[in-house]
Amino acid sequence: MNTGNAATVSLNPALPAERQSGTPAQAASVGLWFFIAVVCSLFGLFLAAYVMRLAEAEGYPLALPWQFWLSTSLLVGGSVALQRSAGIARAGGDARMLWRIGAACSLGFVLVQLWAWDALAAAHVLPRGNPAASFLYVLTGLHALHVLGGVVAWALVARTRQLTAWRIALVARYWHFLLALWLVLYATLGLLTPDIVRAICGVAR
């Protein structure tokens, strides 16, 4: 009879580490899903407030700067690079190059966002004076902060002795979430107008 205190964990080699029951990888995976749910709730509240405010506004539809297309491309590139990096690491290959490309795309995204805000300011689209513009700065700024948080996570993983596949996979998952969130924000800010919101909500002008 084994009276040792050490608990054993049965691993299934067919499953990724982050899906193995009782492992640190699975605990980190669950924690990440919880964090993503919290962030979704936060942005959902901001978007609901934006829609309600826009329904009462006489503002004009915002013409989003072309730099947002470039930042979107960089976020897509970073997401693809990190996903490929995780796949290569699972296969036992060297994922460091794609890992670094993913980080470079992420930093480039933040820099292009700053460029886009500068272009908006040059076009006199400022946080005050138009509800849509106010929410644009808040939402894109909050999203950029979460991207920077992802860069911090990337740096922490990069400092470990070995780029394990499950750590890369979790960072890639977070980047996929940031990409999906950005596409929702982009569509909301670029396509919704006061007239469309009033028609959806059934609010008379």
The pTM for the full model equals 0.82
Domains of the chain, earliest start first? 24-201 (1.20.120.80)
Residue with tokens 């805000």: 117
pLDDT at 127: 80
CA distance 28 to 47: 28
Contact 168, 157 (CB under 8 A): yes
CA distance 47 to 117: 19
- Looking at residue 127, what DSSP letter applies? S
- The per-residue pLDDT string of the chain (205 residues; one tens digit each, 9 = 90 and over) reads 444 444 333 444 444 555 555 577 888 889 999 999 999 999 999 998 888 877 766 555 678 899 999 999 999 999 999 999 888 888 888 888 888 898 899 899 999 999 999 999 898 888 877 777 888 899 999 999 999 998 998 888 877 766 688 888 999 999 999 999 999 999 888 877 777 777 776 665 5
- Looking at residue 17, what DSSP letter applies? G
pLDDT at 158: 79
CA distances to 28, 95, 155, 161, 163 from 158, rounded to whole Å, are: 16, 11, 5, 8, 7
The amino acid at residue 47 is: L
Non-local (6+) Cβ contacts of 86 within 8 A are 95, 165, 168, 169, 172
Sign of CA dihedral 138, 133, 108, 36: positive
Sign of CA dihedral 190, 33, 103, 156: positive
Contact 134, 120 (CB under 8 A): no
CA distance 180 to 42: 15
The amino acid at residue 190 is: G
Q: Which of 189, 203, 179 is nearest to 47 (CA)?
A: 189
Contact 50, 187 (CB under 8 A): no
pLDDT at 38: 96
